[in-house]
Amino acid sequence: MSDCVFCKIIKGDITSAKVYEDEFVLVFADIAPAAPVHLLAVPKEHIENIDGLTEANADIMSRLFLAAKTAAKAKGISGAYRIIINNGSEAGQEVFHLHLHILGGKKMGDKANCAP
Ligand code: AMP
């Protein structure tokens, strides 16, 4: 996707603070951190969000979570992080390239407020 910011990061056209990379996944620091450690784990394949998963590409979810585990260890937050996926604009998704937010480095408060 030529206009996708995360695709540009994956291609190296936009710089990022890379924490982990393999054939399928890139993990880098969020540019506007919401916690002392705030990483994003993205598939190298452009998938918009959870709704873009199919039987053919669903394996990427386990790869994203394994990459998150490795990246969390590298950043010293093993066993103490929260993972969030915003799925769709109503849920707060701003970049339409599937990503896990990995948040840690402080005591987490209440879960997100989903009250109507
Ligand atoms: P979401 O609202 O779930 O789509 O999250 C998108 C996230 O991408 C936000 O937390 C942004 O701060 C982050 N973001 C946007 N552009 C960049 C960038 N160039 N480098 C790193 N993080 C970014």
pLDDT for position 35: 95
> Residues 88-101: pLDDT tens digits?
999 999 999 999 99
DSSP state of 112: P
Active site residues: 99
Residues pairing with 37 in the sheet? 104
* Per-residue pLDDT tens over the stretch 61-90: 999 999 999 999 999 999 999 999 999 999
Task: Please tell me the distance from the alpha carbon of residue 100 to that of residue 112, in angstroms, as a whole number.
Answer: 15
Residue 115's pLDDT band, with cuts at 50, 70 and 90, is low
- pLDDT of res. 108: 86
For residue 26 the two structure tokens come to 């890139």
CA distance to 17, 94, 96, 113, per residue, from 110 (Å): 28, 22, 26, 8
Average pLDDT over residues 19-41: 97
Rounded to the nearest angstrom, the distance between the alpha carbon of 46 and the centre of ligand 1 is 15
Q: What are phi and psi of 42, to 5 degrees?
A: -125, 145
Task: Please indicate whether residue 90, judged by its CB atom, sits closer than 6 Å to ligand 1.
Answer: no
| Token duo for residue 112 | 């997100």
